[in-house]
Structure 1
Amino acid sequence: MYSQTLSTLFSRFRVHQLRLLFTGAGVLTLFLLLGFVLGTISALSQLLTDERNVFGNDLIRVITNINSISSSVRLRATNAEYLWKHAAQGDEADLATLQRAGLVRFDGLGQNTGLMLRLPSVRPDDGATIQHVIELVHGVQREGERRLDILTDSARVLWDPRIYFVTLSGSTVAIRPAPNLDAPAIAAAFKDRARLVRYFSAGLDDVVLWASERREGKRSIRWLPPDTGWLSGRDTFRASALAFDGSTPFGVVVGEYRTSLLTEGLAGRSLTGFYTIVDARGEPIISTSSERPTVSTIAWALTILHTAPRNIAEAFERGAFTLASPLGDTGFTIIYTLPWRVMFHVVAGDMATSAAVAAIAVAILWIFVLFFHRKIMVPLFERSERVFDSENLSRTLIETAQVGLALIDASDHSTLLENAHMQALRAKLDERGKGLIGGALSQDAPTAFHQRREEKAETVDVELHLPTTDDGAIDVVAKLTPAHFQRRPVMVAAFSDVTAERQLARQLTVAKQAADSANAAKSVFFATISHEIRTPLNAILGHLELIERLPQSAPIAARLRTVTSSSRALLDILNDTLDFSKAEAGAMRFESSSFDVRAMIRDTVAMLMPLAQHKKLTLTETVDASIALRYIGDSTRLRQIVVNLVGNAIKFTDSGAVAISVQTSQSSAQGLDIVVTDTGIGIPTERQAKIFEAFGQADETIARRFGGTGLGLALCKRLVEAMGGTIAVTSEPDRGSIFTVTLPLATSADEMEVSTEPEVTDEELRGIHVLVAEDHEVNRELIRDQLHTLGYTCDLAEDGLVALRYFNERHYDIVLTDLGMPKLDGYALATCLRNQGANTPIIAITADVTATDTMRFQEVGISAILSKPMSLALIDAVVRRCLKKTMGPSAATGGAAHVSPVARPAHLKGMLAQQTEKSLRSAHDALERHDWDTFSAQIHSIKGAFKMLQLDEVAAVCRQIETQLAHDPISESEALTHALVHLGERVETALAQFDTATRL
């Protein structure tokens, strides 16, 4: 019984659903068809609206042309009145010719020719009137020449038509421009005198009424009926105006225009319909199409516009949509005709599209209805049965899931359902742990429901550390998701035991801490090994340098040079390896202190000068005078970059020159550009990016030919980028390389005071007495020999206490101290000396300097630093600077205060010429577009290049241009152009001198 009732219920439900489905589909079909009809009507309505707008715009164009014609004729009449009033008597010869031959021609340029006719008349003009007309023609010719000069081509169409003047008697006519009397049609027209009289006397019959309008303050225009112009042979219409002498009319000025002028701008466009202009009689004047409106349409237009004056009239007349409007006071009417067939042709596309869309929509609708009936309604009851199976399956999945799942009432947090895994999890927990779960649900369940209402993430993650019954604890992650079950809010909670994962994470943390400790230990190892290796290397290199100064036999000298070279190579490898390891580990630290760039460059050049002299290379430095005295940054790392670049330049250059220049940055508002140029082996373009990679070199033979590890440039790149700068290279094989380092260094407000003390001679320096504190015996002996070689005397102390006692017993000009000594180290010694008021310069000797060390040097009063290994040139340069001596080291010690003449190898000329030509071209382009920053940068680049090669004439011209640019570059543009040309000439001269210098 129950199954039968259920079957009947399902049957009724099916019938009800089918009625709803198919009835709704029928209603939607009717709406779609209605939409198609309304869309078609809307398309037609929009078309008519568009046509009305187009007609209104075109009407304005036609009336504008008519107004322009009226203005042209009025202007001609006004001009004729002026010339008539101020004209003298005409030429007697022209008068005689006119009276004898009946015509006279007035020659002029182009269209500025004239012709006078004498026609038969009841009241012929007297001689004085004719002479006025003759002079009028001459005046019009003069005015015509002037007006043709100032009118545009488009204006001449309206302002320079064929114009004629006729006296009131009609017996005298002046025409401009003159017709071609040799043309057969013109010659025949001249023979028909009666036709001439009728043509030129048109409109003279109502002169009295016409004159009365002028007396009322108006100059009205008379529009003569269209006719075939006998002078042009084209369909024309005429506009005329009466000319007055005071208040008395003396003639009529008539302009003859082609009828196509009325529809100019209309016929060339793509029109839906067509335009027709008719006269007052209803005769068509011109049409934009071969079609014509019907006679009844023209009659309707003239009647409705005459009986009910209006701007625009419209009607649906005889299968066409018609618009009509009068054309001002011309008596003409413009009619626009749009046939119905054209209208439907225009909207046919839209109608077809709408019909197709409607048909497709109806088809889709019914396909969907049938599909819905077959695929949804029929299987609906089958799906109802499967719902129960699905619920049972869901329960099974919940029970077998490997996480604790529970369905919790959101209102009272009671558990509605839970699986076995959740029950097992609860069994592990003690009462306190169970309470923590309840507390978490109470706290986080409202948050989950709030996020759901806000349409954000619906799942809330909760992490819990729960005590267990065995006095342990487990880590649990709970995911709370809001849902509804049996019409009430519930929380689906998934609990996962993540104790093992958390233990693994803690082990990873411990491992990371151990790795950090190992990294710190490695840093300590690097610092220690650096000091321990540099100390014996310092002794080796120092003694080798001293031995080199002694007389040696040729074989021993060669072996000595080999040992020295190998020792320096070992030092370079050590330095690069240690620094690169620091950079790789992120342990590189940079200080920020004020330093003197000039002194740093000078000391570096002094240190490397022996290497350059050994290879017979010229090593020069150029520091732009415009740079600041001091900058803020890490001078030690900057020195390291410069030493690497200049050292590489010397190593890879066999002949020629190496130059380093420093100038203000051209690419940023502040900072420095350090440029190292050499004439060495060069680098192929495809290998230039490779050299900045670790262990990367220009080719595989570099290590064998020149040695090295390939770490130097990679380290330079890392240092430069860590300081916020860039490094780039420009090079050509066998011609040399240019390395450019750009660093954003800020200037320091702590400017150095320029010393005004007189220079000290080498003889005076030989009296300098030095106190040396060094615990290593070999190093003490080496430093003593180095100081004696430089001409200084010294006392040696094995630790800081002995040095402090010596200092208090004797006089010393300078103190050299190692930092790591027993009993009293170098820091403590410097502190003691400063505390007792000593102002003697203190120089620290160390193998490695960190940013922390630099700050400590400043705190204890250390004046300067000597990095191991120490060359004689470096010792002498630092000692001289600390003693504030302005004279640089001598040539023997690699001084850089005096710039030696630059060697100019011939192959360097090509690079210089090519780069200079490019800079001049860029400067010229920048000058034309007033790009002053680019212009200044190119001039500065040329100045730096030629100044480095000691071609001072070019540099002087560049300085003059920079001076002009500093004032008002816009007003100085012409002067800057001349100066740029002069600079090019100077460059050519300098390049010729370049050849001369090369030969020398």
Structure 2
Amino acid sequence: MPYSPLQSIRRYQSISMFGGGILVTVLILIACALGMASIVYGRIEAERRNFVSGKEETLDEIKTSETSFRNGVANTQLIWREISRAPDSVVEAFFGNEQRIAIKPYPSLVVGVPGQTGNRAEVSRYLALSILLSRICAASSINRGRLLEGYHYSTRAGVFGLVPTMDEDWPALATPERRARVLDALRIDFGDERPPAAGERPRVRWLPPYVGPVAGQVRIRIAAQAYADGAPFAVLVTEYAPEYLLSWLPEAPSDGIFFVTTEDNRLVTMARSAAADQALSGRLLGLDAPRGLTMPDAPVFRDGFVVFRSRLDSTGWILVYAISWTDVAKGVAWQAGTLAAATLLALAVMWMLLVRFYRRTLMPVYARSQRVFDSEELCRNVIEMAPIGLGLISRSDGRLMLASGTLTNMIARCGDESRTLATQVVAHYEAFLACGAPEGTMQAVLPLAGQDDAWRHLDIGARGARYQGEDVLIVAAVDVTAKRRIVRKLEEAVRAADSANAAKSSFLAAMSHEIRTPLNVILGNLELLERSALDVSQHGRVQTLRTSAGSLLALVNDILDFSKIEAGAMTVESIEFGVVTVIERELSAFAPIAKAKGLQLFCEMDASISQRMRGDPMRFAQVFGNLLNNAIKFTDEGRVTARVSIVDACGAPELAVEVEDTGIGISPEHQRKLFKAFSQVDTSITRRYGGTGLGLALCAWLVTAMGGRISVASEPGAGSCFTVRLPLGAAVVDFARPSVPGARALALIAAHAEWRDFVLPHLRAWGFEVSLHDSPARMAGDRRARPGAVVLFGDPDTWSHAELDGLRGCASIIVATPDGPLEPYHAGATVRVSSYSLSGLRAALSHGDAGGGNPAPHDFAAGAPAPGGPPLDDPAAGDPAAGAPAPGDHAPGVPAVAAVAMRRGDSGYRAASSAKGGGALRVLVADDEAVHGSLLSEQLLALGCTVAAAATGQAVLESLAANDWDALLIAADMPDMRAHALAETVHGLAAGCDVLIVTSHLTPEGMRRYALAGVRRILTKPVTLAHLHSALAHARRRRDLRGQRLRTGGGRQGRADQESALHDEKS
């Protein structure tokens, strides 16, 4: 890793911090050691004071004993001078009792050694002294509060006295020899002691312990010679038990041990607690306390003991106090432990804080610093590697302070000096600030002359900053010369693309017009030709031509729609419409195709017939029609079932439409490309069934555009199920209403359970009491005589004519077949309606309830309405769901729709005027094309209209001004006026006629423009008789209402009926 100053800083910081911590730790430990030493020293000092106190106690005892003893010796000397011999009786008793006599009151025994008591005078005088000494001892014992022990003997005669004595028959005194040995043992050698001077106190001497020759006890002695006339006459001795010297010690044992030794380290006495322990007493004597005694009371350390010693003045002995280091340690354990614990705690806290500070403060600081160093290094590398030029420019003198290699090369390529570029950047930045801009980033493009005299452009970004105490500009420069060239080329390409797109749009419009117009002429003439007298062969050829032309039209529609999608011109509307109406229309349109292939087309409707949704009805119909078309196309046998329901999707209602077939099915690997344009599962499908592969792609795009989704579930050989989910966008209408008592009776005859399941819930929801039968023959005879409707539902080929004839005499019979009309068609007491049209069935049932009278003969011929079809004033004709596109709709999107629309024209529409209207509709056709205009005129004539044609806009206006027209049909732009301009003019004149537009190409803009111009309906080519029939329904109704108002005299009721009818039409 390369050397970094940050590493040195970190090392110095670590050494400083942890070195300081170690130094402080050492100082704390030294202070702790000093504290420990101080505690130990204090303990030793306390023990020294204890020793000194014991020494003083011992010296007090010695001094007391010496004082009392000296007083006794002085008194003895005084008495000796004053006394004379003892009474003879005492002397005789002494000698008569084997030279011994007990003296009272203080019990003492005076004993003589035969052979050494020849001087009776000295013996007699000594006996008198002994009697007085007994009394003196008694007084001293009383004064000192203790029994004094001792002895005395005469230096001039073999007589000695024992004080006190409790037994006169001591074995040691039984014979003269023993007495002589006792006396020798009691004698004390005073050496050459000089007599005391006059007035001098008696000299005393302390003697080490010895074993008494009489009682056999260990005693220490204090002795003195009693002088008379400069010569000793007696020796007085007081005996003490050795422990007497330490009698002041408390009974409770202490840590230290007091004992007294002689100069030659012989034990005099020792504290009872240690004297009983021979090992301990041996260790204590082994300390050799008298050795090296130069500093009394000072502690010395020997063999694990702290020893204090001092001489006991007149005794010549040494008082010793010893305490082991163990006892010292025990004595200071609490204090030393507290100090050690405090020291360790202080060290632990200090190091914890130190480490915490290191980790929480220094390490993050170091890490941040390292990141700063790394960031700086990274920035340097980035600046060097950056494809843009970076640098710093001084704002004061325009000097380039720093520059990356890219900026240097860029300046070199521009053939400019850095000073010039820096000066321009500073000038632009100052101008940027002078304009009132805040301190921010300036963006500018500076043109510079290059080395090849070609101008180069640098995109400069500059922002103020501080560097090395100066105001600088951070500059980023990018050579955008090539980019500007590319932008210019792209702009040229965009303009070319726009031109091409405009040309494409024009081409689409022209193709739409050029293709749809001839197709309109072909289909229209074929429709008219089919109405003429033809034999069977000719009629079949016309049907073939119409089917082929319809297929071509569907193909053209798909391609044009897909082109609109690619061009972004495809739009969807958002209006409310009836869901069931669209479903009914598409099912009815595809029923003949399914029947032609021998397929059953069923429906399951789990929604009310009045259910509304918001969306584009035409695009919804196109999606549903495409799915039906594919299902029928790829199914050779079986059935196709459409299911419609309202489902809940996280609280938002959705419309679910399923189309299920029993066709060839799709493998999982092929399902992924179903919704791709111009794509089919494989080439064999294309060869077998044909098609372009656009239908499902259009469906997927339209469903997505309407905010929904499409999916497929399929299995090869078992069929497919396509599901479309679209947002409902409207309130859900509940249709499930159970039957109530007293409901209207109705007999439903349906051979297939699917038809019964389809219609039965709706019949009961409408309030009917339904009885189910699978054939007319199984109906009960009494049921036929009862009033009420009979509904034959399904394919009429299921029942024989005999079974149908058995229904004659029923009050009302409704025949609902797949190929029936969407709106009910009345033929006497029989009503025909499509089995897919629930709204038509309900209207038929309502009409049957409202009607009455005797039943008329029934015509049970299956199929479409009878020749002549519904009259022009049929209310159903005004409903866009009846087969014609709504305003603004394009032509149907699949071949079947066109084919079915043509078949509706096959049935023929009466040319005779309605009995209610009293005359034919007057229609003015505006078209400058002779062929197309002639076709429209012939179609209108076939519908029983009065027709006139005009080739110019001016001629149209003049005709409208001169005559009353029910409808104006504008088929093309006029030579002197556009179609929308003509519609606007007519709307402004309030001509009182419906304006209809026939066009081959309709854009959203054109739709809005026509809506503003008051156009009633827009028909896209090709236009069939059914389309015209539906488009003219409003004009016919308005004319009928106007005639009714004139017949009723224009009363209030007539006006109300008119307004109601118009309202119904608009709704």
Specify the TM-score bucket, using the shorter chain as the normaliser: 0.3 to 0.5
Q: Which structure has the bigger radius of gyration?
A: 2
Determine which structure has the larger helix proportion and give its number: 1
